[in-house]
Amino acid sequence: LVSRETKADDTLIQVGETTIGNGHLTIIAGPCAIESQDQALTIAKHVKKAGAHLFRGGAFKPRTSPYSFQGLGEEGLKILSMVRDQTGLPVVTEVMDERTFDLVEHYADIVQIGTRNMQNFSLLKRAGESYRPIMLKRGMAATIEEWLMAAEYIMARGNHQVVLCERGVRTFVHHSRNTLDLSAIPVVKKESHLPIVVDPSHAAGRRDQVLPLSRAAAAAKAHGLMVEVHHQPDQALSDGAQSLYPEQFEILCRQVMAIFKVC
Closest CA to 242 of 31, 27, 26: 31
Query: Cβ distance 53 to 18 under 8 Å?
Result: yes
Query: According to CB under 5 A, which one of 29, 32, 89, 211 is a site residue for Mn ion?
Result: 32
Instruction: Tell whether residue 62 is a contact of ligand PEP (CB under 6 A).
Output: yes
Q: String of b and e for 88-122 (b: at least 16 CB within 10 Å)?
A: ebbbbbbbbeeebbeebbebbbbbbbbbebbebee
Instruction: Tell whether residue 209 is a contact of ligand PEP (CB under 6 A).
Output: no
> What's the CA gap between 192 and 102, in Å, rounded?
28
Q: Which of residues 42-61 bind ligand PEP (CB under 6 A)?
A: 58
Instruction: Tell whether residue 137 is a contact of ligand PEP (CB under 6 A).
Output: yes
What pairing do the DSSP bridges indicate for beta strands 110-113 and 134-137?
Answer: parallel
Query: According to CB under 6 A, which one of 46, 48, 84, 202 is a site residue for ligand PEP?
Result: 202
Closer residue to ligand PEP, CB minimum distance, 48 or 202: 202
> What's the CA gap between 217 and 185, in Å, rounded?
8
Biggest distance spanned by C-alpha atoms of the chain: 48
C-alpha separations of 72 from 26, 33, 159, 162, 166 in Å: 27, 8, 28, 26, 26
Instruction: Tell whether residue 94 is a contact of ligand PEP (CB under 6 A).
Output: yes
177 binds, among ligand PEP, Mn ion, none (CB under 5 to 8 A by kind): none
233 binds, among ligand PEP, Mn ion, none (CB under 5 to 8 A by kind): none
Q: What is the contact mask toward ligand PEP in residues 17 to 46, using x (rule: CB under 6 A)? A: ---------------x--------------
Closer residue to ligand PEP, CB minimum distance, 11 or 242: 242
What residue ranges bind ligand PEP (CB under 6 A)? 32, 58, 62, 94, 114-115, 137, 167, 202
